[in-house]
Amino acid sequence: MKICVLGLGYIGLPTALLFAAHGADVVGVDVKQSVVDCLNSGNLPFGEPGLNNLYSEAKSRFLVRTEPEAADVFLIAVPTPLDPATKVSNLSYVKSAADMIVPHLRGGNLVTLESTVPPGTSERVVIPRLEKSGVAVGDFLYAHCPERAIPGRTLQEMTGNSRIIGGYDRDSTDRATAIYQTFVRGQIYQTDTRTAEFVKLMENTCRDVNIALANEFAQLAEECGINVWEAITLANKHPRVTVLNPGPGVGGHCIAVDPWFLTENSTRCRMISTAREINDSMPNYVLRVARSLLAGVRDPTISILGVAYKGNVGDTRESPAFKFIQLAENEGYAIRCHDPYAAAFAHPLMDLPEATAGSDCIVILTDHDCFRKLDPAGLQVRTKLVIDARNILDHEKWTDQGFAVRVLGDGSS
Ligand code: SAJ
pLDDT score of 96: 98
pLDDT band of residue 378 (cuts 50, 70, 90) is confident
Q: Is the CB of 74 under 6 A from ligand 1?
A: no
Listed residues 165, 197, 229: the one ending a domain: 197
pLDDT band of residue 5 (cuts 50, 70, 90) is very high
Our measurement of the distance from residue 226's CA atom to the centroid of its chain's CA atoms, rounded to an integer in Å, reads: 31
pLDDT score of 413: 74
d(CA 342, CA 117): 28
Same domain, yes or no: 124 and 11: yes
Q: Is residue 349 situated within a structural domain?
A: yes
Same domain, yes or no: 192 and 94: yes
Listed residues 197, 224, 249: the one ending a domain: 197
Residues facing 334 on adjacent strands: 301
The predicted model gives 18-41 an average pLDDT of: 97
Q: How far is CA 15 from CA 94, 151, 215, in A?
A: 17, 13, 34
* Range(s) of the domain holding residue 70: 2-197
Our measurement of the distance from residue 335's CA atom to the centroid of its chain's CA atoms, rounded to an integer in Å, reads: 25
The predicted model gives 2-31 an average pLDDT of: 98
The predicted model gives 27-49 an average pLDDT of: 95
Cα of 167 to ligand 1 centre, how many Å? 26
pLDDT score of 73: 98
Q: Is residue 244 situated within a structural domain?
A: no
Mean per-residue pLDDT of the chain: 96
CA-nearest residue for atom 3, ligand 1, is 245
Angle between helices 193-224 and 271-280 (to 10 degrees): 50
Same domain, yes or no: 190 and 328: no
Q: Is the CB of 204 under 6 A from ligand 1?
A: yes
Strands 334-338 and 361-364, sheet pairing = unpaired
Backbone angle region of 90, left / alpha / beta, with phi > 0 → left and psi within -120 to 50 → alpha: beta
Q: Is the CB of 244 under 6 A from ligand 1?
A: yes
Same domain, yes or no: 168 and 297: no
Residue 306 has pLDDT above 90, yes or no: yes
CA-nearest residue for atom 13, ligand 1, is 250
Cα of 255 to ligand 1 centre, how many Å? 6
Cα of 11 to ligand 1 centre, how many Å? 15
Report ipTM for this prediction. 0.98
pLDDT score of 124: 97
∠ CA 48-49-51 to the nearest 5 degrees? 70
* Per-residue pLDDT reduced to its tens digit, 189-202: 999 999 999 999 99
Please identify which of the residues 200, 310, 323, 384 carries the catalytic annotation.
200
Q: Is residue 103 situated within a structural domain?
A: yes
Residue 267 has pLDDT above 90, yes or no: no
Same domain, yes or no: 141 and 25: yes
Same domain, yes or no: 290 and 175: no
pLDDT score of 72: 98
Q: Is the CB of 409 under 6 A from ligand 1?
A: no
* Per-residue pLDDT reduced to its tens digit, 309-335: 999 999 999 999 999 999 999 999 999
d(CA 367, CA 352): 15
pLDDT band of residue 344 (cuts 50, 70, 90) is confident
pLDDT score of 22: 97
DSSP-derived secondary structure for 18-84: HHHHTT-EEEEE-S-HHHHHHHHTT--SS--TTHHHHHHHHGGGEEEESS----SEEEE-----EET
pLDDT band of residue 304 (cuts 50, 70, 90) is very high
∠ CA 163-166-168 to the nearest 5 degrees? 160
Q: Is the CB of 28 under 6 A from ligand 1?
A: no
pLDDT score of 64: 98
pLDDT score of 230: 98
Q: Is residue 94 situated within a structural domain?
A: yes
Q: Please report, rounded to a whole number, the percentage of residues in the chain having pLDDT higher than 70.
A: 100
Residue 412 has pLDDT above 90, yes or no: no
pLDDT score of 265: 87
Which pTM was predicted? 0.95
Same domain, yes or no: 193 and 62: yes
pLDDT band of residue 381 (cuts 50, 70, 90) is very high
Q: Is residue 350 situated within a structural domain?
A: yes
Q: Is the CB of 150 under 6 A from ligand 1?
A: yes
d(CA 219, CA 163): 36
The predicted model gives 278-304 an average pLDDT of: 97
SS3 198: helix
Q: How far is CA 349 from CA 300, 318, 324, 346, in A?
A: 19, 17, 15, 9
d(CA 357, CA 254): 35
Q: Is residue 241 situated within a structural domain?
A: no
What does the radius of gyration of the chain's CA atoms come to, in whole angstroms?
23
Q: Is residue 276 situated within a structural domain?
A: no
Total domains present in the chain: 2
Same domain, yes or no: 135 and 22: yes
* Per-residue pLDDT reduced to its tens digit, 203-251: 999 999 999 999 999 999 999 999 999 999 999 999 999 999 999 999 9
Cα of 20 to ligand 1 centre, how many Å? 28
pLDDT score of 191: 98
The predicted model gives 383-392 an average pLDDT of: 98
pLDDT score of 197: 98
Same domain, yes or no: 185 and 318: no
d(CA 394, CA 296): 27
Same domain, yes or no: 163 and 303: no
Same domain, yes or no: 310 and 177: no
Residues facing 83 on adjacent strands: 88
SS3 95: helix
Question: What CATH number does residue 287 fall under?
Answer: 3.40.50.720
The predicted model gives 70-90 an average pLDDT of: 96
Same domain, yes or no: 193 and 291: no
Cβ neighbours for 226, distance < 8 A, ≥ 6 positions apart: 411
Q: Is residue 53 situated within a structural domain?
A: yes
Q: Which of 36-40, 84-88, 124-128, 381-385 has the lowest mean pLDDT?
A: 84-88
